[in-house]
């Protein structure tokens, strides 16, 4: 555990070599990286730290609420504990955290990679987020099969779902994960900074950055990732075809190739 004040952050460290700290998205534990990215980075000679963001047990749930700035400070504390500066990789909300960390604490970041990211809200993003909060506040859950189908539709590429066997496998995987209605997840959904447009601020980022868009991302459409890349001076943009919001799970070989190439050069 890494502690920052009264907040405990559950961390996993493997390997030796240059430090890579990986930041997961809303509602997901750090072990999601262990399926594909952690082993590939370990094999490539990196030391990899994954952790559960506040709100995700066994890290502190902090159900009374917190801010994105708190999560950025948590990530900074993890990096300082394991030895700054670090190479930082984030996806979705984790990518937003990586962007803000690289802007506010450049001394802690050697380079950063943002997967499936965004720098501003859209009406659809806001409406979807409000709907998720309303379900939790009402104490309601969707029928399990419908929840799995909706999650697959929002997070996977049509190319993945066009194959019936692949679609059934993904529906089973999503269904097995269940529906989380914890106070910590509710707090993650209620970050006050979600509605801020930060693109102008990202012109102040000074560290090397790679932004990766997933061409079939419905949750955070790919034009939002392009906007982040356009805003960060000197950043590199790559786009992965036939990949949705879970592109790092759908197309791990392509994602890992980009990660290792970029991180090794920085």
Catalytic residues: 92, 217, 245
Q: b or e along 159-195 (b: 16 or more beta carbons within 10 Å of the residue's beta carbon)? A: bbbeeeeeeeebbeebbeeebeeeebbbbbbebeebe
Through-space distance between the first and last CA atoms of the chain, rounded to whole angstroms: 28
The SS3 call for residue 260 is: helix
Residue 169 is encoded by which pair of tokens?
A: 């496998």
Residue 35: phi, psi to the nearest 5? -65, -45
Q: In the chain, helix, strand, coil percent, each to 5?
A: 50, 15, 35
DSSP calls for 1-58: -EEETTEEE-EEEE--SSEEEEE--TT--GGGGGGTHHHHHHHTT-EEEEEPPTTSTT
CA 99 – CA 75 distance, rounded (Å): 12
Burial class (CB in 10 A: 0-12, 13-18, 19+), 107: exposed
HSE-up of 62 (CA within 13 Å, CB side)?
Answer: 25
């Amino acid at each position: 555990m890494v502690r920052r004040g009264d907040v405990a952050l559950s961390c996993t460290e493997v390997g030796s070599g240059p430090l890579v700290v990986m930041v997961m998205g809303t509602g997901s534990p750090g072990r999601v990286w262990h399926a594909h990215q952690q082993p590939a980075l370990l094999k490539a000679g990196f030391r990899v730290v994954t952790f559960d963001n506040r709100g995700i047990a066994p890290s502190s749930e902090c159900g009374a609420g917190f801010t994105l700035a708190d999560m950025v400070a948590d990530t900074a504390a993890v990096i300082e504990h394991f030895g700054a500066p670090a190479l930082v990789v984030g996806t979705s909300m984790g990518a937003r955290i990586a962007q803000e960390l690289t802007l506010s604490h450049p001394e802690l970041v050697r380079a950063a990679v943002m997967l499936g990211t965004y720098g501003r809200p859209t009406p659809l993003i806001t409406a979807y987020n409000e709907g998720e909060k309303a379900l939790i506040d009402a104490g309601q859950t969707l029928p399990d099969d419908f929840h799995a189908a909706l999650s697959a539709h929002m997070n996977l590429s049509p190319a993945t779902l066009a194959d019936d066997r692949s679609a059934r496998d993904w529906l089973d995987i999503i269904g097995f994960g269940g529906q989380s209605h914890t106070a910590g997840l509710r707090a993650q959904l209620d970050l006050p900074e979600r509605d801020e447009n930060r693109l102008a601020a990202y012109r102040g980022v000074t560290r090397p950055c790679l932004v990766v868009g997933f061409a079939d991302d419905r949750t955070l459409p790919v034009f939002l990732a392009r906007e982040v890349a356009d805003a960060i001076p000197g950043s590199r943009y790559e786009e992965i075809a036939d990949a949705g919001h879970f592109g790092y799970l759908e197309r791990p070989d392509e994602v890992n190739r980009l990660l290792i190439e970029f991180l090794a050069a920085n």
